[in-house]
Amino acid sequence: MSYVNNIKMFVRVYELGSMSAAARDQRTSPAVSSARISELEKHLGVRLFNRTTRSLQPTENGRIFYEGARRVLEAIDEAEAAVVDATQNPRGTIFVAAPLGIGRRFIAPYVPAFKDLYPQIDVRLRLSDRNVDVTAEGLDIAFHLGLLEDSTLKVRLVADCPRLLCASPAYIARRGNPVDGTALVEDRHDCLNLRFPGAKEFQWTLQTPDGPRRYEISGPFESDDGDVLTGWALDGRGIVMKPIFEVAEHLRAGRLVPVVTANPPMPTQLSCLSQHRRFRDPKIRLFVDFIVARIRADMAERMADLAREPDVQ
């Protein structure tokens, strides 16, 4: 298996552009990563990377070898998956990423039940509201809340997610209830912003009779944790944009109230992302099917409860 391990290391170095990043991804040391690449180059009799103290670039031979090496690893994954399917004994570790709110509400509560069903599968769950790089971070699955641009990843739609702007009754009593985007901006309402390194959201895109329109928003508070924003909204500190399912219980209880109702936010989507070759792995398919079914049921229940409450329609 040493040759296969060398190929795996080469592919990750090529994709991540760094020996140290590939070493972290493969849970080994940079020295081992470098040694595996050197051993592979010696075996092939060609240089795969041009190395300097500041950069690492694939050679033409490296680019050619990468395409074949990737197909070899995909074939091995498919062969292993076929054996696992045949034995009905899925095992291994799944690395999963999700937004904080989604992970806390809809994924983490069900991971123990999945483990009970499949005791030989371990789940490593990472929660963050930043956008993750599935390939670079060595993830098997990433749940993504937002509209996707073109992606080379396997994408499975989990749910359409209508959103709204809302605030606490205390905030509305103090600052008023802006009925549309123009009032939101002209009256300089305090908007609670989700912000993290690399975030581009300085505007809210709202629906108008003339189509989507972007409104410049501002506010004294921002965080990279969506639940922190919800807490500030509950505390009367400003207006927050949220998928309805995330704040359904607060809307039902009257702790939050819809605002800017003439121009609601554009809806978003919850999707599950994976590299194509990894999605063929039975343990990953099992986990995705298990979690997606529960997310959909949980979201449907929350929305149904809210719809039955006439004073929040």
Q: What residues does each domain of the chain span?
A: 2-87, 92-161+269-307, 163-266
CATH class of this structure's domain 92-161+269-307: alpha beta
- Give residue-wise pLDDT tens across range 120-160: 999 999 998 888 888 778 889 999 988 877 567 888 999 98
Q: Token pair for residue 248?
A: 């359904």
Domain 2-87 sits in CATH at 1.10.10.10
Q: How far is CA 183 from the centre of its chain?
A: 33
Q: Are the beta carbons of 190 and 219 closer than 8 angstroms?
A: yes
Q: Token pair for residue 312?
A: 């929040």
Per the DSSP assignment, residues forming a β-bridge with 95 are: 124
Q: What CA–CA distance (Å, rounded) separates 130 from 138?
A: 16
Q: In angstroms, how far is the first alpha carbon of the chain from the final one?
A: 61
Query: pLDDT grade, residue 90 (50/70/90)?
Result: confident
> Which of 200, 173, 194 is closest to 259 using CA atoms?
173
C-alpha angle 201-205-208 in degrees, rounded to nearest 5: 170
Domain 163-266 in the same topology as domain 2-87: no
- Give residue-wise pLDDT tens across range 221-275: 998 888 999 999 999 999 999 999 889 999 999 999 999 999 999 889 999 998 8
Domain 163-266 sits in CATH at 3.40.190.10
pTM > 0.75: no
Q: Is 68 exposed, middle or buried (0-12, 13-18, 19+ CB in 10 A)?
A: exposed
Res 299 pLDDT > 90: no
